[in-house]
A and B are shown apart, each in its own frame.
Chain A
Amino acid sequence: MNMLVTPASPTTPNGTTRPQVRIVIVGHVDHGKSTLVGRLLHETGSLPDGKLEMLKAVSARRGMPFEWSFLLDALQTERDQGITIDTTQIRFRTNSRDIVLIDAPGHAEFLRNMITGASQADGAVLIIDALEGVRDQTRRHGYLLHLLGVKQVAIVVNKMDRVDFSADRFKAISDEISAHLSGLGVTPTAVIPISARDGDGVADRTDRIGWYKGPTVVEALDRLEPARPLEALALRLPVQAIYKFDARRIVAGRIESGSLKAGDEIVIMPAGKIAKIKTVESWPVTPVAGRQGAGRSVGVTLDRELFIERGDIVAHAGTAPRETRRLRARIFWLHDKPLAKGDQLLVRCGPKESRATVVAIEKAVDPGELESSENKAIGRNHVGEIDISLSNPIATDPYNENPRTGRLVIEIAGRIAGGGLVLSVDAGQRAVPVDIVPVESALRPDERSARYQHNGAVVWLTGLPASGKSTLAKALERRLFSNGGSPILLDGDTLRAGLNSDLGFSAADRSENIRRLAEVATHLARNGHIAIVAAVSPAREDRATARRIADTFREIHVATPADVCEERDPKGHYKKARAGALASFTGIGNDYEAPQAAELVIDTSKRTVAEAADEIERMLKTSGVLFDEAVDLAANI
């Protein structure tokens, strides 16, 4: 069955090579946004056949005069209430470019929708009613454009027919809005008098505005530039994920700025680990040669195995972002409950998320009024400057150095509640960047393998308390050692007495406990030892992290039934927990997540210790950790 359609000619005859500009239309409610959009679509011949007739018929049926805004207010509720509820996107073409028009609602209640639309725009049209003049929402929208980094703003003074096309009225409004915007650092690209309903100034200059010599709306749109490429800035590749679908370990993400290619020396922030890009992977053809620039979603492999997490940033050494636990941000707040000092939040900076606390509120203001200012809390639809302290270090840039990475959003109860710009970064105590170059062992892995008759590995025993993990681990340690190997026991409780004595039993601390165990075990394994870890490690995700960290990971589920474990209770923990004296004890509750695909499952109520150790030894042999007597060591070099 052949369904492939072979391309008939090498060129694509559609207009996809024309520059595309995304423009948001904003302004106070009822100042005429949807009308202008409807009119623009009509004037540029962008309406489908029959659309106008259909809407005219709908209007007639409802006994309403036809409005251009009906074109966009497609939702029933919107037509019923006569307002635009949500942002929508419509395409049309001018002489020189394709335009994506983002129509954003002006109603204060739907400010979040306006932000959703405007945050995707390259430029903006800010519309003002000639009769009403500059209103709160006009100023709020002007401020938001500034906050979102939209620098190209064309001002349209609409409904000029309502003020008899008065040049004086136009000038007064023009002066007021220009002053407001330049106070925010935004210079309007044009100020245009129009009547959207009648078409004056939209595509044509009419006699009624004969005194106006500037561009029409269509001409002004034609002059807006597409977003500038960000390749000139330093490399920022925020890590979305690490994929290990096959033998490759691919670091995937989108290049937000700068560029990269195979062979580049890179640093992974915030940890400051150094590596080289080995390949740039792709599909269906891989690897990819040549430099990959900002905007590309890529995957890279590195020349060494480093522990990398979602949210880390890949940068070039020397131009890495700062590592911080504290930053100042200018934010726009959308949540019903005002944001106050001491509030606990979730902050997202690209793919990185961190719990955070509001340390200080420096400024809080309603951008619609501007004169009222306080600094106790930031109310809904207000802006403010806040200091945030983060529970995990993150790597980020101030917005004025990198607009792509210097952005953040704040989440409350799983929903975006606000967002804004990183103003400054209070870099941590560490020197920046931290130039950690791992020192390699003097011995090669094969030299150790030859002596010990095994490869390095992490053997991870997980199971309920008193399931027999430590007993089994010690028997295995003795067995391997007797055979000339180099086993090392890492018991969870033992390490909690020292290395991990700063950790408690919260979910986050438990994860960190497992991560450290895995890092230590992996270090030993890389140096040829068999690290035997005995730890309850109740969370599946934590064990998955451990597996990711380790190069060779063998998981053994010590699946002794819960009642047997409790009956044994050698440390008396079950008894204490039953008596309520031991909080967060795994075993009594239901928080143990059994492995789904362990390399081996052992029930110690049905096996002697020696039998169990035999089974483990067999598994290690068949899975290539332990060598059978005669091994061609040369094959391992």
Chain B
Amino acid sequence: MDHLDQLEAQSIYIFREAFARLKKIALLWSLGKDSNVMIWLARKAFFGKMPFPALHVDTGKKFPEMYRFRDHYGKEWDLDLRVEPCPPIDAVDPTLPPAARSAARKTEGLKMALAKYGFDGLIAGIRRDEEATRAKERVFSPRGLEGNWDVRDQPPEFWDHFNASPPQGAHLRIHPILHWTEADIWAYTKRENIPIIPLYLAKNGKRYRSLGDQDITNPVNSTASSIDEILIELEQTKVPERAGRALDHETEDAFERLRVAGYL
């Protein structure tokens, strides 16, 4: 078993635990490289069919390429796709800095979708290496009734034993690729031939390393126009993955505040 085999086997284990122990789950599909790998892993875990919905909490501000990708692969992969809208910007905490406030719409949209369907588990594609607060996450992460994350009172995870009993009305975030890195995602995408959105590949000296909303995501300088070149670039770069995400740079704790409130 090589490194990618190990990552894959662990993720499949987590998917199967979530499906066995929770009543109503959904996978959050943001259309990016990480959630595409997650869908691939889910199909591996369940032998070709993902037996729960893919939930796209749509800000309406994604790139056209992303919407095309969603509509095409939602069908091709036979997903039970649920597209849920987000509330307008006025409905969001006005004390947040602009980009964080824009991103917080997604938290609100997520809460609305949770209330609508009554999911007790949401599968999310966050990774520990992306960002410091995500590094502190559990694989099964309980959320309060408001979708909030109590970082000071996280339950223990012994070995591969996860806490899977959310209180009535609350839900769990399940993180099947928490242990993957950005380079792992690309190496696996290449090995398994998983489709990607072309925005990740360099054009005119720029590419997107992380895809979010159009208004708060910027491309980084890069000449990597294939996955192989991306992997070489990741070997050498010291630029953090989320460098192109505006909200991470507004204030020291903007991202942490978002996450504690329920953001991914």
Contacts and interface: CB of A to CB of B under 8 A. Distances in A.
Given A75-B133, A89-B128, A243-B46, A1 B158 contact: no
Contacts of A75: 132-133, 136, 151, 256
A13 B231 contact: yes
B187 A14 contact: yes
A5 B235 contact: no
B238 interface: yes
A245 B155 contact: no
Contacts of A243: 46-47
Interface in A292-320: 293, 295-297, 299, 310
B256 A293 contact: no
A47 B133 contact: no
Interface in B180-202: 181, 183-184, 186-187, 189-191, 193, 195-198, 201
B240 to A, nearest CB: 5
Interface string A263-301: 000000000000000000111101000000101110100
Contacts of B94: none
A87 interface: yes
Contacts of A91: 129, 181
A413 B256 CA distance: 29
Contacts of B48: 245, 283-284
Given A3-B196, A116-B157, A409-B158, A297 B13 contact: yes
Interface in B76-104: none
Interface string B126-167: 001100110110100000000000011011111101011101
Interface string B31-43: 0000000000001
A348 interface: yes
A123 to B, nearest CB: 16
Contacts of A113: 154, 156
Interface string A162-205: 00000000000000000000000000000000000000000000
B45 interface: yes
A240 B47 contact: no
Contacts of A47: 238
A114 to B, nearest CB: 9
Contacts of A250: 47
B43 A116 contact: no
A77 B150 CA distance: 12
A25 to B, nearest CB: 14
Nearest to A12: B187
Given A12-B231, A245-B49, A7 B253 contact: no
Contacts of B115: none
A636 to B, nearest CB: 28
Contacts of B167: 414
A552 interface: no
Contact of A252 (B16, B129, B132, B157): B16
Nearest to B142: A415
B238 A49 contact: yes
B45 to A, nearest CB: 7
A252 B16 CA distance: 8
Nearest to B135: A88
Interface stretch (B1-9, B106-114, B203-211, B215-223): B1-9
A253 to B, nearest CB: 8
Contacts of B187: 12, 14, 16
| Contact-residue size bin, chain A (C-beta under 8 Å from the other chain) | 35 or more
A75 to B, nearest CB: 6
Contacts of B12: 254, 297
Main secondary structure of the interface of B (DSSP, over half): helix
A85 interface: yes
| Contact-residue size bin, chain B (C-beta under 8 Å from the other chain) | 35 or more
Contact of A76 (B17, B135, B253): B253
A506 B184 CA distance: 49
Contacts of B46: 243, 245
B256 A297 contact: no
B156 A281 contact: no
B19 A241 contact: yes
Nearest to B3: A16
A296 B161 contact: no
Nearest to B36: A3
A415 B16 contact: no
B181 A297 contact: no
B119 interface: no
Contacts of B136: 74-75, 85-88
Given A14-B235, A281-B47, A295-B9, A416 B226 contact: no
Contacts of A51: 240
A9 B197 CA distance: 20
B101 to A, nearest CB: 19
A20 interface: yes
Contacts of B232: 13-14
A49 B228 CA distance: 23
B68 interface: yes
Q: Which of B201, B228, B253, B256 has the most CB of A within 10 A?
A: B228
A283 B154 contact: no
A6 B190 CA distance: 8
B165 A414 contact: yes
A587 B132 CA distance: 54
A49 B237 CA distance: 9
Interface in B215-264: 226-228, 231-232, 234-235, 238-240, 252-253, 256
Nearest to A20: B3
A416 B163 contact: yes
Given A12-B231, A85-B152, A113-B154, A245 B47 contact: yes
B228 A7 contact: yes
Nearest to B138: A116
A115 interface: yes
Interface in A96-125: 112-113, 115-116, 119-120
A393 to B, nearest CB: 20
Contact of A282 (B44, B129, B163, B184): B44
A497 interface: no
Q: Which of A13, A115, A282, A286 has the most CB of B within 10 A?
A: A13
Given A58-B252, A85-B151, A5 B227 contact: yes
A4 interface: yes
B53 interface: no
B155 A416 contact: yes
Sort A-B residue pairs by CB-CB distance and give the 5 closest, nearest first. Answer: A414-B165, A74-B132, A297-B12, A112-B156, A419-B158
Interface of A: 1, 3-9, 12-17, 20, 47-49, 51, 58, 72, 74-77, 85-91, 112-113, 115-116, 119-120, 229, 240-241, 243, 245-246, 248, 250, 252-254, 281-284, 286, 293, 295-297, 299, 310, 334, 348, 351, 407, 409, 411, 413-416, 419
Given A16-B3, A74-B133, A297-B10, 6 more contacts: A74-B135, A245-B47, A246-B47, A295-B1, A414-B167, A415-B165
Interface of B: 1-6, 8-10, 12-13, 16-17, 19-20, 43-49, 51, 68-69, 72-73, 128-129, 132-133, 135-136, 138, 151-152, 154-159, 161, 163-165, 167, 181, 183-184, 186-187, 189-191, 193, 195-198, 201, 226-228, 231-232, 234-235, 238-240, 252-253, 256
14 contacts: A5-B190, A7-B227, A48-B238, A51-B240, A74-B132, A75-B136, A76-B256, A112-B155, A116-B138, A241-B16, A246-B49, A296-B1, A415-B165, A416-B156
